[in-house]
Structure 1
Amino acid sequence: MFTHLTAVVLSLAGVTAAPVSLVPAADREIVFTVDGTTTYGTLHVPAHHTGQRLRAALLLPGSGPTDRDGNQAHTSPNTLAQVADALDHDRVATLRFDKYGTGRTGLGAYRDHPEKLDYPAFVRQAKAAYESLRDQPETNPHALTVVGHSEGAMTALLLGGTARPRPTGLALLQPQAIRLLDLVALQLHAQIAEAVRQGQLTPEQQHSIDAAIDAAVTAVREHRPVDTTGLPPAVAQLFKAFQGQNSRFVDSDDAVYPPDTAASLRPGTRVLLTCGTNDAQVPCTTTDALTAALRRAHVSGPGRMPLPGVDHLLHDADHPSTLAPAVLDVLHRFARC
């Protein structure tokens, strides 16, 4: 109303108002340095008016060597690239980056000493990315959110209580919501139970292997050699890897209990937490304690949103290579809150 009236007044006065120019959507490479490592990422800026400051989201990938787009060496679900595209429809700028061990970033300062890389280093890298997003000329520093997938959701929780300015919202997509080794044990027990159901193992073998898995978890936490007797070869190899070059990372990741981190969130922070009913890696039940902790922290909605038929990579049976409609729906609801 006011803008229209102003144009009329200017017209009557013989003055022509300058047209507002529209900047088309674009990606650009972002580079920032943290702990001596040059980190590379992609800033996606939706179409916007010149000088406009946009809402913005930092996107954080899941565990393992997962790059800025959400891909690993032999799998390319493009999870984060698709999340960025979904948020573009709500005119939310996004930054995603190659974390340690992936893409152009590689191991950086840890190249010659990979055994020294721990989980807090990834959190510091994410915090530096958040600050880089905050400082972009197209972003509104008072309208920043963090969207994390799987392990990235746990990192998002930690940023929610420490980053400045505090994020206005967190989207925790299929989050790592319990301690790392507890989650690994849960996944392994489920796989063994499925093998019994298919007749590949007997119930007696299941009992023996389950006990060996629990003993291995205890040994890793107590920094004792893992007794691999009774463990299937692939499981034995997994626990050996936990005690090798990756031991420092495993110890520091396993030390985080996500429900405890919720207490540091600012009351009123918008939080979306998703769990897929077809997610074998992060079953909905693993998010119960975190959901209760978020409630005690007095955050605001949307809250926990179960996603029928959705797997860990945010797909469903009808959409095996793109984000499921249920995922798109909750992302839009989060963005529009």
Structure 2
Amino acid sequence: MFQRRTALTLALTTALLVTTPAGATPASIPATDHEVVFTVEGTKTYGTLHVPAHRRGQRLPAALLLPGSGPTDRDGDQPPAITPHTLSHLAAALDGQGVATLRFDKYGSGRTGLGAYEGHPEDVDHPAFVRQAAAAYDLLRAHPATDPRALLVVGHSEGALTGLLLADKVHPRPAGLALLQPQAIRLLDLIALQLHAQLAAAAQAGRLTPEQQRANDQAVDRAVGALRANQPLDPTDLLPTLAQFFQSLFDGPSRRFVLSNDRVDPPTAASHLRPGTRVLLTCGTNDPQVPCATTDALAGALRRARTTGPGRTVLPGVDHNLRGTDPDTLAPAALTALRAFTDGLR
């Protein structure tokens, strides 16, 4: 059984009026954002709980939003350089569908920072993020405005893998799981795939000879094998930038996290989902980070697990952050897929 020691405290600060629906009555409660704080293994974690406008006493479906890789905060950003606002856009879209949301600053991001891992970030592994997400799920379940029978987990990129693992460890299990542009294969396999694609593009552009491409492809695969086998890196034939990248994985503070994440096979994790769980799996045709072909095995595992729902949905022209032609909004295709997912839960 998944063990965790968490002290949950819900700090409801001044409510921010967001919108009041047309035709609202005096018995209606307007949409509100609440700043929340919960403690996980000695770390205060900060987040935003958004509750849509609803009737007094009404229980709402509710979704836990999980961010992608790196120090990505509750809004889906790594400021100041990377600010697609993926999770805040998702929260706004789900508000329009009457779904409450909780998003939070995970370890290493936003107001939470490293918390108990301050001074020794090398000790953070992927299970720590799953435990943090489990505490957030418990907080969402306990809120008086949410329906514990209609809890959802919505994970973006690496957050989708976290969501897959979380779904098998919490109670009640989520009614639905949205895997948006997910990490659908083992992490180091995905990294190797991305590097091979970059090498092929460089060769096609004439920046590498075919021989250099072939040597680097082989060196990348050797480096992945050595990292998994706890052997030293052999930088022979690696371009300097690739050698530096792999050296950071071998010797840097993220090594433990990378290896613990890489041990998870997403299709195997999907096999543990409860039959009947409603699932949406998206991939975008303009997403070089998660090519649609990488989701094939995961989609098959979801079918074998007898999950329901939209299943895999290809999003034409959509990038990794669920954007189309407008970089400041979610693509219409992504919004349509999300609505198909939530409408089926009613």
TM-score range, shorter chain: over 0.9
Q: Are 1:273 and 2:281 matched, yes or no?
A: yes
Tell me which residue corresponds to 2:268. Answer: 260
Once the two structures are superposed, the pairs formed by residues 292-331 of structure 1 within 5 Å of their partners are 292-316=300-324, 318-331=325-338
The answer to whether the 8 Å contact 1:20/1:50 transfers is no
Once the two structures are superposed, the pairs formed by residues 1-337 of structure 1 within 5 Å of their partners are 21-73=27-79, 74-243=81-250, 244-316=252-324, 318-337=325-344
Unpaired runs of 5+ residues, structure 2, are 1-24
1:232 Cα offset (Å): 2.0
CA distance in 1, matches of 2:312, 2:101: 23
CA distance in 2, matches of 1:62, 1:212: 28
Amino acid at match of 2:266: P
Amino acid at match of 2:146: T
1:229 Cα offset (Å): 2.4
The answer to whether the 8 Å contact 1:133/1:139 transfers is yes
Amino acid at match of 2:206: G
Please state which structure has a larger fraction of its residues in helix. 1
CA distance in 2, matches of 1:228, 1:65: 28
CA distance in 2, matches of 1:281, 1:140: 35
Unpaired runs of 5+ residues, structure 1, are 1-18
1:20 Cα offset (Å): 5.5
Amino acid at match of 1:239: F
1:274 Cα offset (Å): 0.2
Partner of 1:176, secondary structure, is: coil
1:58 Cα offset (Å): 0.2
State which structure, 1 or 2, has the greater radius of gyration over its C-alpha atoms: 1
Amino acid at match of 1:129: A
Amino acid at match of 1:148: G
CA distance in 2, matches of 1:191, 1:124: 34
- Tell me the C-alpha RMSD between the 2 structures: 1.0
CA distance in 2, matches of 1:219, 1:262: 27
The answer to whether the 8 Å contact 1:20/1:49 transfers is no
CA distance in 1, matches of 2:242, 2:322: 26
Aligned residues: 318
Amino acid at match of 1:307: L
Render the CA deviation track for 1:58-112: whole Å, top value 9, x for unaligned: 0000001100000003110000000000000110000000000001100000002
Q: TM-score, normalised by structure 2?
A: 0.90
CA distance in 1, matches of 2:132, 2:105: 10
1:321 Cα offset (Å): 2.3
CA distance in 2, matches of 1:107, 1:281: 26
Partner of 2:271, secondary structure, is: helix
1:208 Cα offset (Å): 0.6
